[in-house]
């Protein structure tokens, strides 16, 4: 798989990407909409232990048998961070897996708007409160504790049949998963940390910070879980009433739970 120079889209979508949905906890929705911060998690926090491995390492349990690896997957899982979205509208299966808790909600955005107003304009930065706490701000650059990006990509996950020998091909780290996860229909934002100076890794509070009020230009839908009560819906609606670009709506599946 050959990437175009300077291209950040790592997998060409099979269909036109438009709607992205993120099933998440309320705190991260508040953080995204009111603080303009999108939370990223290290691959080491993901339950799928194949995350952060090369395709060859994923095929062979003992990664020491793989020749020519540049960095052990254990470390690599600590320096690659992801924000995972569903490419499409809400589904009951995704609610059941990632949002069955009544306090979970779904953020829904138009990727084209997000790309036009934020990604393509560079209206963002990456930061971590942990890095700010461990040293004086004036010493950040000298001590090398500023979070440095070596790569930033986004696109659809490529799902692979690991038992099919004919499917063996080069797959980029963090951009493929087993066919068993195909139901996730995942669109992923990936940030790789520069590991040259061996900085703190596996940060639990890495934030993609949207600047210049760019998020206000997006139309955002907040979808309330079909498992939530009507009181919870009213609570969320009141809480975001001052966000003019945000529409709080019930899940289209709610009618099946009444």
- CA 228 to chain centroid, in Å, comes to 24
Confidence of residue 60 (pLDDT cuts 50, 70, 90): low
Q: Are 81 and 126 in contact (CB under 8 A)?
A: no
Structure tokens at 206: 């890495």
Residue range 217-227: mean pLDDT, rounded:
95
| Separation of alpha carbons 140 and 129, rounded Å | 12
Distance of alpha carbon 138 from alpha carbon 142, whole angstroms = 8
Q: What is the pLDDT of residue 8?
A: 64
What per-residue confidence (pLDDT) applies to 166?
A: 64
Query: Does the structure show a pLDDT above 50 at 72?
Result: yes
Q: What is the pLDDT of residue 167?
A: 60
Q: What is the mean pLDDT of residues 2-18?
A: 54
Residues linked to residue 4 through DSSP beta bridges, in sequence order: none
Q: Which residues contact 113 (CB under 8 A, 6 or more apart)?
A: 217, 218, 219
Asked whether 9 and 120 are in contact (CB, 8 A), the reply is no
For residue 42, list its beta bridge partners. 81
Q: In a 3-state reduction of DSSP, which class is residue 95?
A: helix
Query: Is a pLDDT exceeding 60 seen at residue 62?
Result: no
Across all residues in the chain, what is the average pLDDT?
Answer: 84
pLDDT tens-place string over residues 94-106 = 999 887 777 889 9
CA distance 106 to 245: 16
pLDDT number for residue 13: 47
Q: List the chain domain ranges.
A: 19-89+107-219
Looking at residue 237, its pLDDT comes to 96
Residue 227 has pLDDT above 60, yes or no: yes
pLDDT tens for each residue of 132-172: 655 454 444 544 467 889 999 999 998 988 877 666 666 78
Cα dihedral 239, 241, 245, 247 in deg (nearest 10): 80
Burial of 145 (0-12, 13-18, 19+ CB in 10 A): buried
Instruction: Determine what percent of the chain is predicted with pLDDT higher than 90.
Output: 57
Mean pLDDT score, 68-81: 81
pTM: 0.86
Closest CA to 192 of 174, 176, 210: 174
Q: Name the range with the highest mean pLDDT among 1-15, 138-152, 177-191.
A: 177-191
Other CB atoms within 10 A of residue 139 CB? 11
């Amino acid at each position: 798989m050959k990437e175009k120079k300077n291209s950040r889209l790592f997998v060409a979508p099979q269909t036109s990407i438009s709607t992205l949905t993120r099933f998440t906890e309320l705190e991260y929705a508040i953080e995204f909409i009111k603080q303009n911060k999108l939370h990223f998690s290290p691959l080491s926090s993901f339950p799928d232990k194949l995350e952060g491995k090369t395709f060859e390492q994923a095929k062979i349990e003992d990664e020491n048998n793989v020749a020519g690896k540049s960095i052990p997957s254990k470390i690599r899982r600590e320096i690659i961070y992801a924000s995972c979205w569903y490419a499409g509208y809400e589904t009951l299966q995704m609610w059941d897996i990632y949002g069955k808790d009544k306090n979970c909600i779904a953020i829904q955005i138009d990727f084209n708007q997000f790309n036009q107003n934020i990604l393509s304009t560079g209206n963002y930065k990456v930061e971590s409160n942990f890095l700010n706490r461990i040293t004086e701000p004036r010493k950040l650059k000298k001590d090398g504790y500023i979070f440095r990006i070596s790569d930033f990509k986004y696109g659809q996950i490529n799902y692979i049949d690991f038992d099919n020998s004919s499917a063996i091909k080069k797959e980029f780290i963090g951009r493929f998963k087993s066919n068993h996860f195909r139901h996730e229909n995942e669109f992923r934002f990936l940030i790789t940390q520069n590991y040259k100076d061996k900085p703190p890794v596996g940060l639990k509070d890495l934030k993609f910070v949207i600047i210049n009020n760019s998020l206000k230009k997006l139309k955002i839908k907040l979808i309330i879980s079909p498992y939530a009560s009507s009181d919870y819906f009213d609570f969320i609606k009141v809480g975001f009433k001052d966000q003019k670009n945000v529409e709080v709506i019930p899940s289209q599946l709610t009618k099946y739970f009444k």
